[in-house]
Amino acid sequence: MGNNAGLYALTEEHEAIRAAVRDIAEREIAPFAAEVDADSRFPVEAQKALTAAGFHATHIPEQYGGEGADAIATCIVIEEVARVDVSASLIPAVNKLGSMPIILSASEAVKQLVLPPIAAGDAMISYGLSEREAGSDAAAMTTRARLDGDSWVLNGTKAWITNSGISEWYTVMAVTDPEKKANGISAFAVHRDDPGFAVGPKERKMGIKGSPTCELYFTDCTIPADRIIGAPGTGFKTALRTLDFTRPTIGAQAVGVAQGALDASVAYVKERKQFGTSIGSFQGVQFMLADMEMKIEAARHLVYVAAAAGEAGRPDVTRVSASAKAFASDVAMQVTTDAVQLFGGAGYTQDFPVERMMRDAKITQIYEGTNQVQRMVIARSLLR
């Protein structure tokens, strides 16, 4: 049979990345997670720690000053940060979401302009697709861009934009030819200093409170003509291709927060005594933990498979990425809900992290395509 060491296993480098990120997360991110949530403030400590270690945007290719990490490595980074604070995990996750359209479709000039500062940690990037009336039906967007000499002029509003205000760069989708519907949407690289660009007030959210979510306003926002990402009319295709590569990162967030909740639960049930013994000695509790463990492990493997599918350019990448995102996020909601239950009354208070994890887990079922949309995507691909 020969040496099977590499058979269906992560590399030593992947395991080393996990160990390094877990160390940083436990030392420099976890201690601030409750405060970040309570004060709805950006996790600057996490940003500094991740940037110093080069874990803030691991996916950017080496030719633009990045780490050039593979998709599984990036998922491991996001997973390990989300294990202690989902808000902080949106730093590497959204840097990937915002920059993926540029990596996939932009001209070399736009790549050279935008990617090096993100790789260096001098800037962050966000992704502007959704609007109030164009959520799941993203192609119904009304933000417009028109060519005016050597400039594009944008008008409209984007909604629910993660890390808005913190990010310097924004990948924005806008309609350039209304007649062509989805094929009339183009993508643009917008800088926060561009004239006519503004960021709205922060949404008051159930969870991920450390990551600002705002509207973006474009009022005759004028950008150089060469900042279009790809050819006119290809923006929506770029947006959908981007999601094939980023949905596994949402799965990774979900796996991370679920693992954090399970780890907290295991520690708690060993210590907590009722009826003269630790509650971990009761089979009812043990079976809950067993179910949590099974689901997390299944979700983790599916996420890595999806990440690898994107890396390998597998034809079923859209289906497996949708599966990973939907399955892992459903698992995260189940596991964090059970974690609160295992902690009992204590779990419902902010003295323990599991109620925050439950609130944070919910968004993974909603953003980057609701789980209902993921199921549509999966079914459509099966029935083709």
The CATH number corresponding to 236-383 among 3.40.50.2300, 1.20.140.10, 1.10.10.60, 2.30.30.100 equals: 1.20.140.10
Exposure b/e, 320-358, CB count within 10 A at least 16 = b: bbbbbbbbbbbbbbbbbbbbbebbeeebeeeebbbbbbb
Distance CA 162, CA 181 (A): 25
Which helix (H) or strand (E) is 222 found in, with range? strand 213-224
Q: Are 210 and 42 in contact (CB under 8 A)?
A: yes
Domain boundaries, the chain: 12-120, 125-232, 236-383
Distance CA 376, CA 116 (A): 37
Q: Residue 186 is which amino acid?
A: S
* DSSP single-letter state for residue 29: I
Kindly tell me the sign of the dihedral angle through the C-alpha atoms of 146, 149, 151, 153.
negative
CA-based angle 65:70:72, to the nearest 5?
Answer: 140
Which parts of the chain have pLDDT scores under 70? 1-5
* DSSP single-letter state for residue 134: B
Q: Residue 250 is which amino acid?
A: I
Kindly tell me the sign of the dihedral angle through the C-alpha atoms of 163, 111, 226, 185.
negative
What is the token pair recorded at 97? 């979401």
Going from the C-alpha of 137 to that of each of 156, 324, 370, the distances in angstroms are 17, 21, 11
Furthest C-alpha separation in the chain: 79
Annotation says 35 is catalytic:
no
Q: Are 153 and 146 in contact (CB under 8 A)?
A: yes
Architecture of the 125-232 domain: Beta Barrel (2.40)
Q: Are 70 and 311 in contact (CB under 8 A)?
A: yes
Exposure b/e, 119-139, CB count within 10 A at least 16 = b: bbbebbbbbbbbbeebbeebb
For 163: left if phi > 0, alpha if psi spans -120 to 50, otherwise beta; the answer is: left
Which alpha helices (H) appear in the chain, and where do they start and end? 12-24, 30-39, 44-53, 71-82, 86-105, 108-120, 235-271, 283-312, 317-343, 354-362, 371-383
Distance CA 255, CA 325 (A): 10
- Find the catalytic residue in 28, 131, 215, 368: 368
Residue 154: Cβ-neighbour burial (10 angstroms; 0-12, 13-18, 19+) = buried
pLDDT for residue 7: 86
> For domain 12-120, is the CATH number 2.60.40.420?
no
